[in-house]
Structure 1
Amino acid sequence: MLGEIWPIISVCLGIIVLLILIIKFKINAFISLIITSIATGVFLGMDLNKIIGTVEKGMGHTLGSVAIIFGLGAMLGKLIADGGGANRIADTLIDKFGEKYIKWAMIVASFIIGIALFFEVGLVLLIPLAFTISKRLGISHMKIGIPMAIALSVTHGFLPPHPGPVVIANELNANLGQVLMYGIIIAVPVVVIVGGFFIKFLPKIAPTAFEKEIDMSNIVADKSMNKEMPKFSISVFTALLPVILMLFATIVQMITGHQEEATNHFESVVYFIGNAPVAMLISLVFAMYTMGIARNRNMNEIMDSAAEAIIPIGMMILILGAGGAFKEILIDGGVGKTIEHMFTGTVMSPIILAWLVSALLRIAQGSATVAAISTTGIVLPLLQASDTNLALVTLAIGAGSIIFSHVNDTGFWIFKEYFGLTVKETFLTWSLLETAISVFGLVFILILNLIV
């Protein structure tokens, strides 16, 4: 019996080790994650000669997928901030919505942008804007940044063209149009409830997170305060250019039905410029002109901004890589398979089962996408003898995959580092909010299941 559940116990032991290293001994998160990854591999009984290889593979895979995007995105955001674009957008939003409703402005903007951008990219792009607004209004960066992050997280978990919903729909043979339609119906109230109302309780739950002041100099700059700021339209277009490029490629894919690969030269070009790293690079070059040269800034100033943007994310990138190493240890150590066996053959409702298994996989190994994709193989046998709406099952898996972001999730460390929080404060804010999104998402899915 103990042998059957030992992988789960090993995960718990690994997480305990990580928390002790970070909270008790104050060891840097990167070092702590590497130590924990190796220790967890030992707990899981992995071949000692393969543990380091797994750590290297996990770190390399994670950094290979996010480092380029993160670096280019950070530079783009810094150029927009230093060139006055962020201040122009902030001024316009404040003027149109007023200080009282600025939170809703961030929610709407983040939701729209988040439909086309991965969570990490959207966060990198919008952080300078959120922090600029909080600085100009003299309010906590958390009150502006959290609604933004919530909207991005909801779109990542519920809406195509994000990888989770698209791959799940394909595996379950669900209609992608229905997934998008039902996803919007569910995502909108979830964002409103969690981002608009639920967060009002956070200052009472984690008061220190809202009271602290962080150094925003590397993210928000005042270099352009005494210069004429760019127009609102060009500022927004510069910020949204990667969204436009990626969204255009996605629309072409959906229209042609050629989502796997291009079938002609036009599609090849569109898919190329719509690829996230390429879209970010094109947008960065464009920003060098609109937020640099057009603002009478010389190339040395522009490159200084680009270089300064990398400084605050250097350690973050290492932490993300270490988080990927921990995740890879859990996957290669057989944790996912153990959870799969626990629920094989159950007679539970497919929607609830899909959410529960996805949630457990998410908690165990950290990646929302891995949790979502892994869950499809478990629920497929049940769906063959059920008339459950496949689009809703797809969304249930997506909802489960974003529950309780914690120390083995790269999003946890991204949020912690950007917002200058302690591990405890991140648990009391981000982890709690992700859980609320997941639970409210399931509630609305079950309600919609009674209607459709």
Structure 2
Amino acid sequence: MPLVVVGISVVILLLLMTKLKLNGFAALLLVAVAVAIVRGIPLADIPDVLSDGIGGQIGDTMLTIGLGAMVGRVMGDSGAAQRIAGKLLDAFGPRWVQVAMVVTSMLIGVTMFYEVAFVIIVPIAFTLVRVTGAKLLWVGLPMSIALSTMHSFLPPHPGPTAVAATFHASVGLTLFYGLFIAIPAGALIALVWPRLPFVKRMDPAVPTGLVGEREFTDEEMPGLGWSLGVALFPVVLIAGAAVTELAVSSDSHFMHLIAFIGSAPIALLLTLLLAIWVFGPRIGRSLEEVGGSCASAAKAMAMILLVIGAGGAFKNVLVEGGISDYIKDVTHSWPISPLVLAWLIAVILRVALGSATVAVVTASGVVLPLVAGSGINPVLMVLAVSCGSIAFSHVNDPGFWLFKEYFNLSVVEAIKVRTTYTTVLAILGLGGVLALDGILGALNV
């Protein structure tokens, strides 16, 4: 049974990394090869399947994460991150630092991918940890939870947007209704999870190389305007492109230019060039110093990118091995509510395949025939599938490894924290969708 293969492979992966202390990159590749053999993928094709998985994953993430890490390190080494962190503390106070992180993350995360927003905001979280003396997870976990919620629940993120197109649902209404679920659910979990006893017992250190250790005086730090301007520059470019896309014909030459500038890699590349000047020659730092900051960030990211790429290889083996097709066949005729079925199929696919985007797109294809016949609001179907796609993030999810490495956790610790919070978010999301269904039904909307 394919799902048994998935379960056993995850257990073996955990044993390799926790008991034998095998490097995550090597462990993921070994398990991926074993699963490929068991699922009957021809031996001659396995290297290509692994390469395609690594290439697809790294192609999607390397530019984003690498450029984002460089921007973050340049800001950190110039004192810009400390300036923003200091102003957040002044505005909210040390007692409300978690609220500051949730508000900041939700505002930025509405339009930006999890990985992009993560690497932009995490230097500020690291700086707040150093300045306040708080634990890393106390400050960083609310940020990650808020970003996860925005990315998985709402368009214009790729999964919800693709599902909205499949169901012919309004992207605008999906975003509008989704905010009523995402904001309370994300804020609740973001503020509760760091307070849970099993999380409070964890005390990881900030990873070396991703943020400077120097503490700046007020005179040494760049101004708040420049610091915020650089931090928000990619947000403006990406969000501006998303908004413009809704209002302008996609066939226009102007839209092609906007889409180019607003793509995450180009937006971050332009941000890096801006950061190099703003936090380099403009304030008296040499280009050699700024280049050193970029090099330090690149070295620190090397193993993270390798592990994420190996996670992509594992995911691709599961897809090529027919796991998603098997789940579609098994669940197609289950006699339950279309909203619950859509959510459940997305959950199963997320557990088996790791990729939230693959999960939502596959689940939408399974439940699409139910939309017309059930009378369910297609916007609610989009939200049900999207909420299910965040559940049970674990070792076959590249975002899991980003979370684990940046927060310096062991595999078991990352599962305890991230797998649990993503699952509870998915359950709360389903509850919100069912509540919205009842409210809209009562209002005849």
Which residue does the alignment assign to 2:271? 283
- Tell me by how many angstroms 1:348 deviates: 1.1
User: How far apart, in 2, do the equivalents of 1:115 and 1:363 lie?
Assistant: 24
Give CA-to-partner distance per residue, 1:285-322, whole Å, 9 cap, x none: 00111122222100100100010011111001000110
Give CA-to-partner distance per residue, 1:305-349, whole Å, 9 cap, x none: 010011111001000110000000000000001111111122211
339, 342, 348: which one aligns with 1:351: 339
Which residue does the alignment assign to 1:19? 14
User: How far apart, in 1, do the equivalents of 2:164 and 2:320 lie?
Assistant: 25
User: How far apart, in 2, do the equivalents of 1:296 and 1:66 lie?
Assistant: 33
- Tell me by how many angstroms 1:232 deviates: 1.4
28, 32, 37: which one aligns with 2:27: 32
Q: Compared with structure 1, are the counterparts of its residues 164 and 13 closer, same or farther at alpha carbon in structure 2 (3 Å cutoff)?
A: same
User: How far apart, in 1, do the equivalents of 2:79 and 2:205 lie?
Assistant: 23
Q: Is the 8 A contact 1:82 1:223 kept in 2?
A: no
User: How far apart, in 1, do the equivalents of 2:412 and 2:186 lie?
Assistant: 24
Alignment of 1:9 with 2:4, yes or no, is: yes
Secondary structure of the residue aligned to 2:227 is helix
Q: Which amino acid aligns with 2:86?
A: D
Secondary structure of the residue aligned to 1:213 is coil
User: How far apart, in 2, do the equivalents of 1:364 and 1:419 lie?
Assistant: 24
User: How far apart, in 1, do the equivalents of 2:105 and 2:287 lie?
Assistant: 31
Alignment of 1:229 with 2:236, yes or no, is: no
Q: How does 1:87-236 map to 2 (within 5 A)?
A: 87-201=82-196, 204-209=197-202, 211-222=203-214, 224-225=216-217, 227-236=219-228
Which residue does the alignment assign to 2:435? 447
- Tell me by how many angstroms 1:267 deviates: 1.7
Give CA-to-partner distance per residue, 1:85-125, whole Å, 9 cap, x none: 11111110101100111100100000010112110111111
Which residue does the alignment assign to 2:235? 243
389, 392, 407: which one aligns with 1:419: 407
Secondary structure of the residue aligned to 1:376 is helix
Q: Compared with structure 1, are the counterparts of its residues 223 and 285 closer, same or farther at alpha carbon in structure 2 (3 Å cutoff)?
A: farther
Q: Which amino acid aligns with 2:421?
A: L
Q: Which amino acid aligns with 1:336?
A: S
RMSD: 1.3
Which residue does the alignment assign to 2:53? 58
- Tell me by how many angstroms 1:197 deviates: 2.4
Q: Which amino acid aligns with 1:130?
A: A
TM-score, L = length of structure 2: 0.96
- Tell me by how many angstroms 1:23 deviates: 1.0
Q: Which amino acid aligns with 2:103?
A: V
Alignment of 1:405 with 2:413, yes or no, is: no
Which residue does the alignment assign to 1:47? 42
User: How far apart, in 2, do the equivalents of 1:161 and 1:314 lie?
Assistant: 29
Secondary structure of the residue aligned to 2:383 is helix
Which residue does the alignment assign to 1:3? none
Q: Is the 8 A contact 1:159 1:183 kept in 2?
A: yes
User: How far apart, in 1, do the equivalents of 2:426 and 2:212 lie?
Assistant: 32
Q: Is the 8 A contact 1:41 1:329 kept in 2?
A: yes
Which residue does the alignment assign to 1:319? 307
Alignment of 1:369 with 2:331, yes or no, is: no
User: How far apart, in 2, do the equivalents of 1:294 and 1:14 lie?
Assistant: 53
Q: Is the 8 A contact 1:13 1:40 kept in 2?
A: no
- Tell me by how many angstroms 1:20 deviates: 1.3
User: How far apart, in 2, do the equivalents of 1:386 and 1:196 lie?
Assistant: 37
Unpaired runs of 5+ in structure 1? Answer: 1-5
Alignment of 1:272 with 2:260, yes or no, is: yes
In the alignment of these two chains, the number of paired residues is 440
Alignment of 1:301 with 2:289, yes or no, is: yes
Q: Is the 8 A contact 2:156 2:242 kept in 1?
A: yes
- Tell me by how many angstroms 1:215 deviates: 4.3
Unpaired runs of 5+ in structure 2? Answer: 441-445
Q: Which amino acid aligns with 2:198?
A: I
Q: Which amino acid aligns with 1:370?
A: V
User: How far apart, in 1, do the equivalents of 2:284 and 2:349 lie?
Assistant: 52
User: How far apart, in 1, do the equivalents of 2:426 and 2:200 lie?
Assistant: 24
Q: Is the 8 A contact 1:131 1:220 kept in 2?
A: no
Q: Which amino acid aligns with 2:393?
A: S
User: How far apart, in 1, do the equivalents of 2:243 and 2:204 lie?
Assistant: 43
User: How far apart, in 2, do the equivalents of 1:48 and 1:215 lie?
Assistant: 39
User: How far apart, in 2, do the equivalents of 1:220 and 1:175 lie?
Assistant: 45
Q: Is the 8 A contact 1:190 1:437 kept in 2?
A: yes
Q: Which amino acid aligns with 2:222?
A: P
Q: Compared with structure 1, are the counterparts of its residues 167 and 323 closer, same or farther at alpha carbon in structure 2 (3 Å cutoff)?
A: same
Q: Which amino acid aligns with 1:431?
A: T
245, 251, 255: which one aligns with 2:247: 255
User: How far apart, in 1, do the equivalents of 2:359 and 2:222 lie?
Assistant: 43
Secondary structure of the residue aligned to 1:393 is helix
- Tell me by how many angstroms 1:223 deviates: 6.6
- Tell me by how many angstroms 1:392 deviates: 1.0
Give CA-to-partner distance per residue, 1:337-392, whole Å, 9 cap, x none: 11111111222111100110000000001000110001011101111211111111
Which residue does the alignment assign to 1:338? 326
User: How far apart, in 2, do the equivalents of 1:41 and 1:208 lie?
Assistant: 38
User: How far apart, in 1, do the equivalents of 2:438 and 2:338 lie?
Assistant: 14
Q: Which amino acid aligns with 2:121?
A: L
Q: Compared with structure 1, are the counterparts of its residues 196 and 208 closer, same or farther at alpha carbon in structure 2 (3 Å cutoff)?
A: closer
Give CA-to-partner distance per residue, 1:54-87, whole Å, 9 cap, x none: 0111001111111111111110011111111111
User: How far apart, in 2, do the equivalents of 1:220 and 1:401 lie?
Assistant: 35
User: How far apart, in 2, do the equivalents of 1:439 and 1:89 lie?
Assistant: 34
67, 79, 98: which one aligns with 1:84: 79
